[in-house]
Structures are given as C-alpha cells and as structure tokens.
C-alpha cells in the first residue's frame, strides 16, 4: 500500500478484524499537534422507522482506497500540509453498535482537525463506492437508497 506518512487509508473485513480506534489515534499522534479528532460510525438499531438488527457493507475496495486518498488529500490542501489523517472503512456484516468506519485527524490546532474530520466523513458518505444493506428484525433486508454520483461533482 502506498500510504504516505501523513495519510493511512484502508478497507478491512470487519467480520475478521474489528476497527480499532486506538490504532487510528496512534497513527495521527504527533508531538507537534495539539489537537486530534476521532469519528466513529456505528450501526444504529433503526432506520426510517424500521427496527434494524444488522448491516452488511459492500465495498469496491480498489476504487474506495483511491477515493479515500483523494478525499484526504483534498482535506490536506484545504487545511494544511501538517495534518495527519487515518481512515478505515469496514466491509462485511455488523450487528447493532458495531463500528463501520473510523476517521482520525490531527493538526497543530483544533479548528483544522474538526473541520477536516467533518469534511472527510461527509465526502465519503456522498462519494465513496460503499453500499449498506440493512437487515430488519422481521427477516427482510434492503439496500439503502443512497446518494447518486453526479457526473461533474
């Protein structure tokens, strides 16, 4: 993997390896940084009024990794080259409360970390090739409708 020293991105099979927030924090830890932000996405027990018992994540891994890097590089362009960013998205099935994504961002000052962390999760939700299938208590399951990708955006 050609991650550089400021960016780490990956996709993990979460049925085998759980996402680990402390690894994310360790990666972004830097003596010159006074701020670190952590975002964890987890499986919620309901969606649109329907009780959910689990979610499966499908990922186009090669494209997702390229896309995560692109998003991290955009954040570094916006908020400065001294930032560190760690992103791991899960693929596979998770039960309620399971962690599907971790993002950690550190920077010398807090504003950049907060803003960049928010940017990275919002962009991943809108642009990255990841799909969620919800499994309902009644035994039914459905792909979440999602965001269509615009041609030039």
Partner 1 sequence: MKIKIRLFGAFRKYGNEIDIEIPDGSIVSDMKKLLVEALGDDSRELVYSSRFATDKNMLDDDSEITKNLSEVAIVPPVSGG
- Contact footprint for partner 1 (CB under 8 A): 41, 57-60, 62-64, 66, 89, 100-101, 121, 124-133, 143-149, 151-152
Report the SS3 class of residue 52.
strand
Long-range CB contacts (within 8 A, 24+) of 142-148: 144/47
The tokens describing 26, both together, are 């360790």
Smaller CB distance to partner 1: residue 82 or 93? 93
Q: Which is nearer to partner 1, 5 or 145 (CB)?
A: 145
Q: Residue 71 or 76: which CB sits closer to partner 1?
A: 71
Residue with tokens 């954040």: 75
Tokens of 97: 């409360």
Distance in Å, CB of 118 to partner 1, minimum? 12
Say which DSSP state 139 is in. Answer: S
Max Cα–Cα distance, the chain, nearest Å = 51
For residue 32, the minimal CB distance to partner 1 (Å) is 30
Nearer to partner 1, 112 or 134 (CB): 134
Distance CA 19, CA 102 (A): 7
């Amino acid at each position: 993997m050609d991650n550089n020293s400021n960016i780490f991105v990956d996709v993990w099979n979460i049925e085998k390896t759980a996402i680990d927030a402390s690894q994310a924090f360790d990666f972004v830890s830097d003596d010159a940084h006074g701020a670190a932000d952590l975002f964890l996405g987890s499986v919620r027990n309901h969606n649109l009024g329907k009780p959910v018992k689990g979610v499966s994540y499908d990922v186009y891994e090669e494209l997702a990794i390229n896309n995560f890097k692109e998003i991290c590089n955009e954040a570094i362009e916006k908020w400065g080259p001294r930032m560190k960013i760690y992103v791991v998205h899960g693929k596979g099935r998770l039960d309620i409360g399971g962690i599907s994504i971790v993002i950690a961002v550190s920077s010398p000052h807090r504003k950049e970390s907060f803003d960049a962390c928010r940017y990275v999760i919002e962009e991943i939700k809108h642009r990255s090739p990841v799909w969620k299938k919800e499994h309902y208590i009644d035994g039914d399951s459905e792909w979440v409708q999602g965001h269509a990708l615009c041609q030039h955006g």
